[in-house]
Structure 1
C-alpha cells in the first residue's frame, strides 16, 4: 500500500512539474519575443515617420502644382489678353526751315 501511495504522489508531482515547466518555457519565450519587439519598435517607428514625411512632401508639391495650374488657367495666357498691336502713327516733320 505504501508503494501505491508513493507511486500516486510521484505521478501527481510529475504532472504538476510538467505543467509548471511548460508554463515557464512559454513565459520565457514570450519574454524573449517581447524584448526583441521592444528593440525593433524605435527603428520601425523612425522608418514609418520617414515614409510619412516623404508622402506628405510629395502631396504638398502636387498640391502646389495644382494650385499654380488653376491660377494660371483662371488668369488666362498673355496672348489672349494682348489684343491687336497698335500701329505707330507717323507724322511728317519738316527737314529744314525756310526763311532764314
Structure 2
C-alpha cells in the first residue's frame, strides 16, 4: 500500500513542480524584458521629444506664414476699392486729324 501512495505523491509533486517551474520561467522572462525596456526608455523618450520639437517648429512656421498672409491680404489694396486707372492721353496721330489745328 505504500507504493501507490508514493506514486501519487510523486505525481502530485511533479505536477506542482512543473507549474511552479513554468511560472518561474515566465517571471524571469518578464523581468528580463522589463529591464531591457527600462534601459531603452531614455533613448525613446529623447527621440520622442526631438520629433515633437520638429513637428512643433514646422507647425509654428506654417502658422506664422498663414498669419503673415492674412495680415498682408488685410492691409493690401483691394482691386474693387482701388482708384480707376488714368485714361490714356491722346496721341499725335489723333491730334493731326482734329480740325482747327
- What interval of TM-score do these two structures reach, taking the shorter chain for normalisation? 0.7 to 0.9
Q: TM-score normalised to the size of structure 2?
A: 0.74
Deviation at 1:81, TM superposition (A): 7.5
Compare relative contact order (CA 8 Å, sep 6+) and give the higher one, 1 or 2.
2
Task: Map 1:1-100; keep pairs closer than 5 Å.
Answer: 1-76=1-76
Q: TM-score normalised to the size of structure 1?
A: 0.74
Deviations, residues 65-89 of structure 1 (Å, cap 9, x unaligned) = 1111111111115xx98998xxxxx
Unpaired stretches in structure 2, ≥5 consecutive residues: 86-101
Deviations, residues 33-83 of structure 1 (Å, cap 9, x unaligned) = 111111111111111110010000001111111111111111115xx9899
Deviation at 1:15, TM superposition (A): 0.6
The two structures, once aligned, show a CA RMSD in angstroms of: 2.2
Alignment size in residue pairs: 83
Unpaired stretches in structure 1, ≥5 consecutive residues: 85-100
